Amino acid sequence: MIKLRAYITFLTLVAIGYTIYSFSVYPLAATIILPIIFLTILAELSKVKVYMLESKEQVAVSWTTILSIGTLIGVGINEAIIVNIISGIVSSLYPNRLPLIKFLYNISSLVATLIVTNYLKAHFIEIPYIFSEPIVFGVVVSMLYIFSNYCFAIVLMKILTGKRYRDIMNDMLAPHLPHTLLIALVGGLLGVMFIEYGYFALLFTMLFVFLIGSILRFTAEGAKKRIDELEGSNSRASKLADELNQTLEEFIQSLTSTIDARDPYVYGHSMQVSNYSLVLASKLNLEEHEVEKIRIAGLLHDIGKISISEDILFKPGRLTKEEYEVIKTHAKIGEEILSKITSLKEVANLVGMHHERYDGKGYPYGLGGDDVPIGSYIIAVSDTLDTILSDRSYKKGLPPSEALSEINRWKGTQFHPDVVDKLNELREELGDDVFKNSAKLVDEAEITGQIVNRISVKKTIESLHKEKNISAS
Domain-ending residue, one of 187, 205, 226: 226
- 7-40 pLDDT, tens digit each: 999 999 999 999 999 999 988 877 788 888 888 8
Residue 368 lies in a domain: yes
Tell me, what's the pLDDT at 249? 65
pTM over 0.75: no
112-126, 168-182, 369-383, range with the lowest pLDDT: 168-182
Residue 268 has pLDDT above 70, yes or no: yes
Contact 438, 145 (CB under 8 A): no
Mean pLDDT of 439-449: 51
DSSP 98-115: PPHHHHHHHHHHHHHHHH
Longest dimension (CA), the chain: 90
Per-chain mean pLDDT for the chain: 78
Tell me, what's the pLDDT at 283? 93
Alpha-carbon span 121 to 126, nearest angstrom: 9
How many domains does the structure of the chain reveal?
Answer: 2
Residue 100 has pLDDT above 70, yes or no: yes
Contact 50, 61 (CB under 8 A): yes
Taking the chain, what is the end-to-end CA distance rounded to the nearest angstrom? Answer: 22
Mean pLDDT of 149-173: 84
Mean pLDDT of 259-282: 78
Residue 303 has pLDDT above 80, yes or no: yes
Q: What's the CATH code of the domain at 258?
A: 1.10.3210.10
Residue 232 lies in a domain: no
Q: Indicate if 273 and 301 belong to the same structural domain.
A: yes
Q: Indicate if 145 and 197 belong to the same structural domain.
A: yes
Mean pLDDT of 56-72: 72
- 355-406 pLDDT, tens digit each: 999 999 999 999 999 999 999 999 999 999 999 998 776 678 899 999 999 9
What is the residue range of 420's domain?
A: 238-468
Q: Indicate if 216 and 264 belong to the same structural domain.
A: no
Alpha-carbon span 158 to 165, nearest angstrom: 7
Q: Indicate if 139 and 275 belong to the same structural domain.
A: no
Tell me, what's the pLDDT at 277? 95
Q: Indicate if 326 and 437 belong to the same structural domain.
A: yes
Residue 460 lies in a domain: yes
